[in-house]
Amino acid sequence: MTLVSKTFDLYGKTYTLEAGELARQATGAALVKQGDTTALTTVVVSRERKNYDFFPLTVDFVERMYAVGKIPGGYLKREGRPSDKATLTARMIDRPIRPSFPDGFRNEVQIVATSLVADQINPIDVICTMGASLAMMLGGVPFEGPLACVRIGRNRETGELIVNPTYEERETSDLDLELAGTRDFISMVEAGAEEISEWDMLDAMRFGQEAIGAFCDAQLAFVAEWERINGEIVQREYPLDIPSEEVHDRVFAHYDEMAAALADADKLARQDRVAALKEAICAEFSEEELELWDRDIPVQLKKLEKQAMRTMVVTTGERVDGRAADEIRPLMIKPGYLPLVHGSGLFQRGQTQVLSVLSLGMLSEGQRLDTIEPVSGKRYMHQYNFPPYCTGETGRVGAPKRREIGHGNLAERALVPVLPDENEFPYAIRVVSEVMESNGSSSMASACGSCLALMDGGVPIKRPVSGIAMGLIQEAGETVILSDIQGIEDFLGDMDFKVCGTERGITALQMDNKATGLTFEILARALEQAKAGRAHILSAMLSELQGPREQTRATAPRIVSISVPTDKIRDVIGSGGKIIRSIQDETGANVDIQEDGTVYVGGTGESVEAAIERIELIIKVPEVGEVYTGRVVSIQPFGAFVNLLPGKDGLLHISRVASGRVEKVEDVLHVGDEVEVSVIEVDDRGKISLDRVNKPEAPAGEDFEPRRERTDRPRRPRSERPGFDSSERPRRSPGDNGGRRPRRRHDV
């Protein structure tokens, strides 16, 4: 096997495809580069077919910290559980590949994408899908390929669309659209946007489809070069689970019964009726037949349910719960659902119910990210929990699964564009969406409930956001677009198309498509129908809460920003953080200091004002004429040092501690005494001279004119003193030492 490498340019970026040198025992392996960013993607297909009634595909993205020259933190100093970004990248690879395999494929497939180099210029995520596609082509794996994934950005100023933008280009983009598929159809879309119109989004998707075709052509060119050098690729044979016609006929004989069982608006009741029917059908098979067709029977039962549901929608125009295609389920909206928390919102649509809860904190409480991307943290965190009780089931409660991370990320992208700038609202923001009940579209209920929680908590969002999940049924040459899909329409339908946005435009979008007949004309209809659905839901939300509350709740921290000169930051922090810790301990407020001198002070009650007052006293420079009541902190033979402000001491000279002659400062003042003083001088080095206000009489009671400080009578040069004549100054003759012994540096 000879190394094959091919470099090409597309849309202003340079890419390299390589194979034949690394991971040669895998079924297929490919190295993909964009710039210097490098990912190795491998695929392994098990030799034996698994006894499953589903396609056993596993996709992992392995984020190696050496790719950016980092050593992982913690005691183990090695990578642990995948970051959220790594999980989202694995989902990005999985979603277009899973539907590309043939029905009945039961051999286990594992795809592993490993980051080798992350150049901090080009993102690594989208190129991994192309690597997986190429690895499967080189390994002779049967799938509908080649596939590719691209990211489309749009310059905020010029409107220019950009393919696979760099991190710097993404900073100036109002669109972050990832889409994947073949040159003929799109199977996966994920997007965040700054309120762009449906038509602009559609144009970007068309442009992305063209770019996907170009990357598919690049893979075909590479495969041709590979076969020229290494010989023709052998297409591997994998037996498929081909359903028995006899089983199909016996199961589908119960079609009318299945259609009747599905016609129930209540999810649990419908599931019970369908399950009972399936048990009755299975009872018609003998034990020998059940053992012989142990995989065929469950597959055909699922197909029966799917066929009955889809035919019902297409032929009658009515869905399983009796709704029309564009009808939204009944809504229940309750902002401010929980007491004491910083904000909350309960959003229910049909049998899907989500409670979102807001927490506000200091900016330093934002999430720190330790990934291979040049992003160190984020201020807004949206987390989504899907406990087993929300579907009436039992199950493990623990770390979030991939689906939960993906849904949380979608709601987060939907709301980030409308959040206020941190200069306007200097808070870290966390929203947790608890799914209390689920029958489809829980991610969109999460977006709506979280918008309610933000508004209830007084977060001054720019505009409210609503979301809706759309579906698609293509059956018997007919196409029906469904609004607000429920669970069964998601599982058995052709498309799950989620759209979030404000009245001005789209802020987030996600699509998983199984229909090869999805055209841009159908997508345009779906977007238009989604816009009407979003408007209906948003109107219902605003009828309960018209906008953000005027202020945050009393239980939430109040954060105020002030600015201090950068040369005073050290004074506020103190040696080893001593001063700032004392401020926080004594006032109860939290204090964050930025490098530019911005100070964020947060707390409840009067703690914020108390901390700000302490900080202002520290940075204040006393001025001549100001009067202070200070505490004596040190006594010296020449006077007493009096603390005026935190970190600011002034000298009260011995001649100014009392009226009359004072032999020792201790005769009048002691350490710890409070004394009222006025500032009489601040020199260019910041040293402060003080005078005592209302001086007491000196202890001896002697009348004495205070001696003047040396600073009050500048010393004149000797040559300017009266009677001085430099010509009369006695001079010492060379070598004359006046009878004194010469000094030596090393006198023994």
pLDDT of 728: 47
For the CA atoms of 577, 582, 583, 586, the dihedral, rounded to the nearest 10 degrees, stands at 160
490 is in an annotated binding site: yes
Predicted local confidence at residue 716, as pLDDT = 55
pLDDT value at 718 more than 80: no
Above 70 in pLDDT, residue 745? no
CA nearest neighbour of 344 among 437, 432, 260, 464: 432
How many other C-beta atoms lie within 10 A of the C-beta of residue 142?
17
Q: How does pLDDT run across 136-169, given as a tens digit for each residue? A: 999 999 999 899 999 999 999 999 999 999 999 9
Whether the predicted pLDDT of 730 surpasses 90: no
What percent of the chain lies above the pLDDT cut of 90? 62
Residue 413 pLDDT:
96
> Quick one: what percent of the chain has pLDDT higher than 70?
93
For the chain, the average pLDDT equals: 89
Q: Cα separation of 663 and 349, whole Å?
A: 87
pLDDT band at residue 268 using 50, 70 and 90 as cut-offs: confident
- Extract the tokens encoding 472: 């698609």
State mean pLDDT over 461-465.
Answer: 97
Q: Is 691 marked within a binding site?
A: no
Single pTM value for the model:
0.83
Give dist(CA 520, CA 537) in Å, integer: 25
pLDDT range class, residue 387, cuts 50, 70, 90? very high
Backbone φ and ψ of 99, nearest 5° = -75, -5
Confidence of residue 713 (pLDDT cuts 50, 70, 90): low
- The number of CA neighbours under 13 Å toward the Cβ of 556 is 27
What pLDDT does 746 receive?
45
Average pLDDT (634-649) is 88
Tell me the two tokens of residue 551.
């202020």
Give residue 686's pLDDT: 78
pLDDT, tens digit (0-9, with 9 covering 90-100), for 496-552: 999 999 999 999 999 998 887 788 999 999 999 999 999 999 999 999 999 999 999
Other C-beta atoms closer than 10 Å to the C-beta of 139 total 21
Average pLDDT in the 340-367 region? 95
Stretch 461-474: mean pLDDT, rounded?
95
pLDDT score, position 36: 97
- Residue range 70-99: average pLDDT? 91
Residue 206: partners with Cβ closer than 8 Å, 6 or more residues away: 520
